[in-house]
Amino acid sequence: MSRRQRAEVDAMVRRPRPEGPRSVEELRAGFRAMMAEMIVPAGIRTQTATLGDRPAVLVEPAGTAKAGTILYFHGGSYVVGSPETAMSLTGNLVTKTGFRAFSLDYRLAPEHPFPAAIEDGLSAYRALLDSGEDPSAIAFAGDSAGGGLTAATCLAARGAGLPMPAAIVAFSPGLDMTRTGGSMASKAGIDPFFTREGLEHTGAMYLAGQDPHQPMLSPAIHADLTGFPPILLQAGTNEILLDDSTRMATRAREAGVDVILDVTADVPHVFQAFAGVLDEADEALERAALFLRQHIRTKGTAHTPAS
């Protein structure tokens, strides 16, 4: 374990930030600046695309991609972020699996509160299916709020009568908008990113007055996960959202769903974004890539690079 690297990352993310609630514009600018420091791997090519009725970024290996598609949902509390801010994560999954990925630019709150992001996720998945992609060749992946969207989009797809994707990979997912996990208190002050007050500030923008006790808002405690595909949940011990993953894993297991709960010690929220800086990040992404390769089943030909 790389104790020095983990200490350096912890110090980096604890750099002083403006106190008090910030405007949406300030939140978005700050998040863009922070994520611009993450290392995007070489060996990928990107291109703007449309999926459903939303923009997306198609991320491909430099050569010919293997048959199979990752539908990626970026993080950012449903308020900030974009495919570009998640490129270190999406790019690493693409280079480590050989699959292409579509990173969806779903609508953000407060301009577009719940359930806009889920509607966009469902539309994107439907577009992949309509294009001829077999569901066994599609996996959902996402980080933070995007990790929550992987589960919510599965619920929406099942409700719409669509087949389930092959697998779900969720990095530090937000899976409980009621904020009732024990780690909300036990990890307070240990988490270098989040406070309860900060999550409630952005959460209120997404909820827009909706009751958080709904399956699509809090699947870790309220969703029926029967029939879900295999799930990989990765989280760190230094995050207040840790129990979102632990309770989701329990709920999945009780529903007869194959689930792996992968918890790394002394690392922060979405530590996988620090690939190239933190050994644990690279190792976690290797495990995620292995999981995706094991579960994505393809019958068609490989994807040629987009022009």
User: Which residues belong to the active site?
Assistant: 144, 239, 269
H-helix segments, 74-230: 87-97, 116-130, 145-159, 183-186, 196-207, 219-222
Tell me which residue has tokens 């644990």: 280
The Cβ of residue 63 has, within 10 Å, a number of other Cβ atoms equal to: 11
Q: Are 123 and 105 in contact (CB under 8 A)?
A: no
Rounded-to-integer distance, Cα 264 and Cα 237, Å:
6
Instruction: Report the candidate in 145, 166, 144, 152 with the shortest Cα–Cα distance to residue 222.
Output: 152
H-helix segments, the chain: 3-13, 24-35, 87-97, 116-130, 145-159, 183-186, 196-207, 219-222, 242-254, 279-295
